[in-house]
């Protein structure tokens, strides 16, 4: 549909961070990752223009082609660096910024759809009460005449509230022919991409503009702005899940990742955090104060309150994970329960297993991680320590408080419990002795 060029060569000074600006994350996905996703319906392999910390950026983003801009001489110059990879005029070009993560595919598609022979350039604008440093869009009689950067604007132009969002679409022909004619004769001494607007007008052609909501086109320039964009992103994702039929009585306390995938009929109670990689294959219940990451859940699972599912957790249908339970690389079969105060890691748990309170898989010896395998129908007594590697055969029981370091045969009882010792009258004697001293 169009070739996308995403600009990400700038320095991001105001982030005050060693991480390149576009690698900061919203909902567990980098800013530029969001932009690449939004652009995917238009171009599956956009051109990413990198410059500052180029290697860091290049090492952390997939599904793009790269162009390098060094030194960084402005947004127009950045697009010039991508043009050798756009050899002909056949396709339109869509320019986006890598630090504007909330832009939607619909907005981009609509902008590209506006381009025609008579109207070979289209820009995205927004109205704001605080136009600050944004470029001002000058409109006369309904026609866009140009974009004036704040640094170059007159007092009168600074009062304009219609601003340039930074997204621009045009015919390949316009970009190929006009970009080389940009000049650096302006307050910043840069090649402004925005100068294309006046150049197209000077040829007697029209420039289209569409209006976006300020929230959608807001960029990230500081840690504070990053947190504001995160809030908008969360609001949007919660809305999407609720629209799909996920019940969320306290949405403002639930934090989702870009890829959190829960089906209709699921319930998410207050104060839950979904790090990346969580997906449920059927309706599930996540009770309050749970933290999930890289976990796969099946129909009817109930997790929490206060549960922590770590990466590699795979829960079969109707599994229950209760309070203060941590799982990691644990495959748990249908109907099994781990309800209280347990750690189950590097483990395979069969179906209809009951794991008693305070059970720990001792999976780590300081050097290696070892597997715990628990067969179907096993009953693990409370406070059992399973020293891995260990296999607990199907249908067996383990006695409460046992420390087990060898395999347990099927249908047996395994018990390691010191013999009980009773000293009759000992307590009375002890108290009298203490009273005399």
Residue numbers at the binding site for ligand UD1 (CB under 6 A): 7-10, 49, 51, 69, 72-75, 77-78, 97-99, 134-135, 147, 149, 163-166, 192-194, 219
Closest CB to ligand UD1 among residues 165, 341: 165
Q: Which is nearer to ligand UD1, 222 or 247 (CB)?
A: 222
φ, ψ for residue 228, nearest 5 deg: -70, -40
Minimum distance of ligand UD1 from residue 124's CB (angstroms): 10
Query: Residue 18: how many CB atoms within 10 A of its CB?
Result: 7
Q: For residues 51 and 333, which CB has a smaller minimum distance to ligand UD1 in the complex?
A: 51
Shortest Å distance, C-beta 12 to ligand UD1: 7
What's the closest the beta carbon of residue 120 comes to ligand UD1, in angstroms? 18
Going by C-alpha positions, the residue among 160, 153, 202 that lies closest to residue 177 is 202
| Beta carbon of residue 267, minimum distance to ligand UD1 (angstroms, whole number) | 40
Q: Which residue is nearest to ligand UD1 (CB)?
A: 135
Active site residues: 340
The residue among 166 and 304 lying less far from ligand UD1, judged by its C-beta, is 166
Q: Write down the least CB distance from residue 297 to ligand UD1, Å.
A: 38
- CB closer to ligand UD1, 201 vs 329: 201
């Amino acid at each position: 549909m169009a070739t996308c060029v995403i600009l990400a060569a700038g320095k991001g000074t105001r982030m005050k961070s060693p991480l390149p600006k576009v690698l900061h994350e919203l909902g567990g996905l980098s800013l530029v990752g969001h932009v690449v996703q939004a652009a995917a319906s238009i171009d599956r392999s956009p051109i990413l223009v990198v410059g500052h910390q180029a290697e860091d950026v290049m090492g952390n983003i997939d599904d793009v082609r790269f162009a390098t801009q060094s030194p960084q001489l402005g947004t127009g110059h950045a697009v010039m660096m991508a043009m050798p990879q756009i050899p002909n005029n056949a396709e339109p070009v869509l320019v986006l910024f890598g630090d504007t993560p909330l832009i939607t595919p619909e907005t981009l598609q609509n902008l590209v759809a506006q381009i025609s022979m008579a109207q070979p350039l289209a820009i995205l604008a927004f109205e704001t009460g605080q136009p600050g440093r944004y470029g001002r869009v000058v409109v006369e009689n309904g026609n866009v005449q140009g974009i004036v950067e704040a640094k170059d604007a007159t007092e009168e132009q600074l009062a304009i509230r219609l601003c340039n969002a930074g997204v621009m679409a045009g015919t390949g022909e316009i970009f190929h022919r006009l970009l080389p004619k940009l000049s650096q004769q302006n307050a910043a001494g840069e090649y402004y991409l925005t100068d294309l607007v006046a150049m197209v007008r000077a040829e007697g052609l029209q420039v289209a503009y569409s209006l976006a909501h300020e929230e959608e086109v807001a960029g990230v320039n500081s840690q504070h702005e990053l947190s504001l964009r995160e809030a908008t992103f969360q609001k949007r994702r919660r809305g999407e899940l609720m629209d799909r039929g996920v019940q969320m009585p306290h949405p403002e306390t639930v934090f989702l990742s870009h890829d959190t995938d829960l089906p209709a009929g699921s319930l998410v109670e207050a104060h839950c955090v979904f790090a990346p990689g969580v997906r449920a294959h059927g309706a599930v219940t996540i009770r309050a104060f749970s933290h999930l990451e890289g976990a796969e859940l099946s129909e009817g699972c109930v997790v929490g309150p206060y549960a922590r599912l770590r990466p590699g957790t795979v829960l079969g249908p109707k599994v229950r994970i209760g309070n203060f339970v941590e799982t990691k690389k644990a495959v748990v079969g249908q109907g099994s329960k781990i309800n209280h105060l347990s750690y189950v890691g590097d483990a395979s748990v069969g179906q209809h297993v009951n794991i008693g309170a305070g059970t720990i898989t001792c999976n780590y010896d300081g050097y290696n991680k070892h597997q715990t395998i628990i067969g179907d129908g096993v009953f693990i007594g409370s406070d059992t320590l399973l020293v891995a590697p260990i296999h607990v055969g199907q249908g067996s029981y383990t006695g409460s408080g046992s420390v087990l370091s060898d395999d347990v045969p099927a249908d047996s009882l395994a018990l390691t419990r010191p013999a009980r010792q009773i000293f009759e009258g000992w307590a009375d004697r002890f108290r009298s002795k203490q009273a005399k001293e």
